[in-house]
Structure 1
Amino acid sequence: MTRMWLPFPESNENNAEHIVIFAKILIPGRGDPIPNAAVGILIKDGSISYVGSQSKLPQALQSTLPTNVSYLLPGLWDCHTHFAGTLQAEFSAFVETHPAACGAAVTRGFYDTLMAGFTSVRDVGSFAIEAYSAVKAGLILGPTVFGSGGAIGITGGSCDGVKLPPDWMYGRQGVQHQNQWPGISTLVLADGVDECRRAVRLQIRRGASCIKVVTTGGVMSTADNPEYRQYSDAELKAIIDEATLQGRSVAAHAHGKAGIMASIKLGARTIEHGSYLDEEAAELMREKGVTLVSTRHIVEAGLNRLDHMPPETSAKMVAVAEKHLNAYQIAVRTGVKIALGTDICSSDPKENISHGNNGHELVWAVKKAGMTPLGAIEAATANSAETLGLQAPKKGIIKEGWDADMIALDVNPLENIEVLAKPDNIKYVWQGGKQVKSPQASHWPPPISKTNGWSGTDKHACVGCQISGL
């Protein structure tokens, strides 16, 4: 279906103070659905001013013509994604693609993610922080990005391109001064306590809202084992302690049980993947209040594209897949808190691991892991926002005083969760109270006006501007 392209409305012709939405069913993100619901939005700051029954709509909102929708939800979150800006989901592409090419590709990924109903993301290893400055400036559309900067890992581990010369790798990904832009990459190499602390500080310097550490081998990497630990207790403690000092939560990539247990004990807020999680690990996660971000979509998609992977990677994918699903089911069955993330990393829209396919994660949560549709929606909204700890915004719940990030559908996702997997089913998207998608139009690009464009703060927060002296 061809959709008309329109810019944002450039003026508030009626000088309205509010937006009103009437919903047949409101699914608030946490709590029971509300029938015949109304939501009021305060235009001046994009916050929610009223949530309740249509019959009890405050007088101040009664003169506002409502937008009528069938099913209203909070904007969804993908809390494990990578806006790496590569067309190939291959390790070499992550380190060899020029940052300018990555940034150009990310603009498409940002847009596709937002149109799929994902109004916020937690990015755990990419150039998303830098690219997001263009969204904040109003130049492009995209989700609100809460990024980790680069994922921090060891030499010879899951973050290291071991087939590339080590001096070249450290020149691109190291934290010392031989790197032209130390710490500014999708993947960051750090060894020893001092480098680990510096790596965290460099990510916070570039604007990280959270910190990502790789504590075991990976699947997409070629030379390590997902079950084996990476980082000593001293190094991992240094990373988590340094992040905690700066109010950042830590996302720990951990497939193997040893890495899972160490990450939980030392203070990580989330376990990413958790492929070899068992009942003992699940019990410790519940005790410590640690959240699992399983990333099932990358596994399901990977099993359908084994012929696109190097042999060593495809073998690991097959070996991990069943263990991963079993671990996910254990976590759901035993009451571990779940947040949803896809591990999507490709900017090629022809790929099923590209941005815009994020909604499949809710399908796997229900169809594979055994969550209820309502539970999966909470995991993709309220729970996902809470993975940011002290940095968590007022997003993920349709609640008075919170940000008006919302989506609307014609089909009830509580009866058919698969509706969320297709972006065309997302009829409306509001972000901070602004309507960025409707059945009539997708709004791209936003107009340049005195209310957007590069601000002094954004300009000088951009690494490119720092280097060029702008």
Structure 2
Amino acid sequence: MSDATVIVDGHRISYAGPRDSAPEGERPNVSVPVVMPGLWDCHVHFAGVREGASTQEMMLTPAPLATARAVKDAETLLRSGFTSVRDLGGYGVHLAAAVAEGTALGPSIYSANKVISQTGGHSDAHRLPYQSVSDPCRANGMQILADGVDECLKATRLQLREGARVIKVCTSGGVVSELDDPYHRQFSDAELRAIVEEAGRADRAVAAHCHGKKGVLAAVAAGCTTIEHGSQIDEETAAAIKESGAILVPTRTIFAALHANLTMMPPHWRPKVARLAEEHLTSMRVALSAGVPMAAGSDLGLSVPGTPLSFGRNGAEFGHLVAAGMTPLEAIEAGTAAAPLTLGPQAPKTGVLAEGYDADIIALTANPIADISVLARPELISHVWRQGKSVKQEGAHTTAHRGAVDEL
């Protein structure tokens, strides 16, 4: 729409449509070339690490220091156009409270708190003594170990007790952990069902970290809401995901960043990254062809600027989605309208410019439909409003007069 107008009333949108049909009123009038819903990143980690994203580093970094670093990361995300994020393992539950009360500047944060892992699994810190990582109530780190149904129930309840808005579980091995294999399945059917059912009683979605086919199918069978990564998806697996109603969050950004910098990675990462990177792209294309719903997520989480894994580069995910076969508009939908669904029953009313929705809005100096890479360039995002409040405004021309509308 070439002459669109959005009117904000408090933290909600009260009108979105043609300017000629907008209601009369006296209010500030901001004119910008392009306006769209605020972006979502459905997979980040407010882990507060600087030296590397290893599980050991996360465990050894003091929680107060990590959380302090994450405050800056949250601000960077917001100024990059991301008004909502899912923190799938990190200190986001505490950061969310600081943002909500106005102490810190950041997006709306829906955090899983600690990632649930089996002993020896993806989120276990394999090089550290078991006694130092197995305490479920320790402050440092973003993982909790659980074995057997009872411990899985307790681990889930502990995350809810901390204020988790989503539950994260590892159903396969991973890349940044040392001893496990990404293609090996983790947790039994009974353990996964216990986690999903307990989360469901609290209306929480469950996000499943899974690379290999067996882990993906186990997550789907257990009723997980989202499949994170999905590196080994064939036609059979894609059909199962689609039938279950689960959403794939492919996180291509992290794969591309790691593969492009393979020689800089720790030795035990390299063969995993090299093996997964190409297969992951093929899996994305198979899933797209099968009509599997997708949401955008980057898996970034390094608290130091200027690296391929740093916050602020999250918008690169949109370009990767297009490279995998989405149209620019479909990629944008994956990071706006479709993204809240990754929270299941707790999905907020955001991601769309429509009456009654949260006033999470961004303005740009260029059109991402014509060039999707615009979303990966924070300097081209001139304005950000989160819940109706201006949090970024570069070179704005604002007036107030009778009959004016918020022309964003």
- TM above 0.5: yes
Q: Who is 2:115 aligned against?
A: 151
Q: Who is 1:316 aligned against?
A: 272
Is the deviation greater in 246-255 or in 89-98? 89-98
What amino acid does structure 2 have at the position aligned with 1:105?
R
User: Cα–Cα, structure 1 residues 68 and 180, in superposed 2: closer, same or farther, change >3 Å?
Assistant: closer
1:122 deviates by 0.6
Deviations 1:60-86 (A, max 9, x none): x3x334211111110000001101011
Q: Who is 2:29 aligned against?
A: 66
**Aligned pair 1:379/2:334, yes or no?**
yes
Q: Who is 1:268 aligned against?
A: 224
Taking the aligned partners of 1:144 and 1:321, their CA distance within structure 2 comes to 31
8 Å contact 1:37–1:52 — kept in the other structure?
yes
Q: Who is 2:381 aligned against?
A: 426
1:13-412 mapped onto 2 (5 Å cutoff): 34-43=1-10, 46-59=11-24, 61=25, 63-87=26-50, 88-171=52-135, 175=136, 179-180=137-138, 185-367=141-323, 369-412=324-367
Deviations 1:233-253 (A, max 9, x none): 111111111111111011011
What amino acid does structure 2 have at the position aligned with 1:257?
K
What amino acid does structure 2 have at the position aligned with 1:69?
V
8 Å contact 2:232–2:280 — kept in the other structure?
yes
* Percent of pairs with identical residues: 44
1:355 deviates by 1.2
User: Which structure 1 residue ranges, 5 or more long, are not aligned?
Assistant: 1-33, 442-470
Poorly superposed stretches of 4+, deviation over 3 Å: none
1:107 deviates by 1.0
1:135 deviates by 1.3
Secondary structure of 1:66's counterpart equals strand
Q: How many residues align?
A: 395
Taking the aligned partners of 1:305 and 1:136, their CA distance within structure 2 comes to 37
Deviations 1:242-296 (A, max 9, x none): 1111110110111011111111111011100000011111111111111100000
Taking the aligned partners of 1:258 and 1:326, their CA distance within structure 2 comes to 17
Secondary structure of 1:39's counterpart equals strand
1:89 deviates by 2.0
What amino acid does structure 2 have at the position aligned with 1:390?
P
What amino acid does structure 2 have at the position aligned with 1:380?
G
8 Å contact 2:61–2:141 — kept in the other structure?
no
8 Å contact 1:374–1:414 — kept in the other structure?
yes
1:180 deviates by 4.7
Deviations 1:102-130 (A, max 9, x none): 01110110011001000000111001111
8 Å contact 1:149–1:185 — kept in the other structure?
no
Q: Who is 2:402 aligned against?
A: none
8 Å contact 2:174–2:182 — kept in the other structure?
yes
Taking the aligned partners of 2:93 and 2:380, their CA distance within structure 1 comes to 29
Secondary structure of 2:338's counterpart equals helix
Taking the aligned partners of 2:308 and 2:248, their CA distance within structure 1 comes to 23
What amino acid does structure 2 have at the position aligned with 1:164?
L
What amino acid does structure 2 have at the position aligned with 1:111?
E
What amino acid does structure 2 have at the position aligned with 1:258?
K
Secondary structure of 1:64's counterpart equals strand
Q: Who is 1:30 aligned against?
A: none
What is the root-mean-square deviation of aligned Cα atoms in Å? Answer: 1.2
Taking the aligned partners of 1:185 and 1:385, their CA distance within structure 2 comes to 26
**Structure number with higher relative contact order (C-alpha < 8 Å, ≥ 6 residues apart):** 2
TM-score, normalised to structure 1, is: 0.82
1:202 deviates by 0.6
Taking the aligned partners of 2:47 and 2:291, their CA distance within structure 1 comes to 33
1:188 deviates by 1.0
User: Which structure 2 residue ranges, 5 or more long, are not aligned?
Assistant: 397-408
What amino acid does structure 1 have at the position aligned with 2:31?
N
What amino acid does structure 2 have at the position aligned with 1:229?
R
8 Å contact 2:37–2:353 — kept in the other structure?
yes
TM-score, normalised to structure 2, is: 0.95
Taking the aligned partners of 1:89 and 1:250, their CA distance within structure 2 comes to 23
Deviations 1:317-356 (A, max 9, x none): 0100011000001111221100010000201112121111
8 Å contact 2:96–2:110 — kept in the other structure?
no
1:446-457 mapped onto 2 (5 Å cutoff): none
Taking the aligned partners of 1:41 and 1:435, their CA distance within structure 2 comes to 11
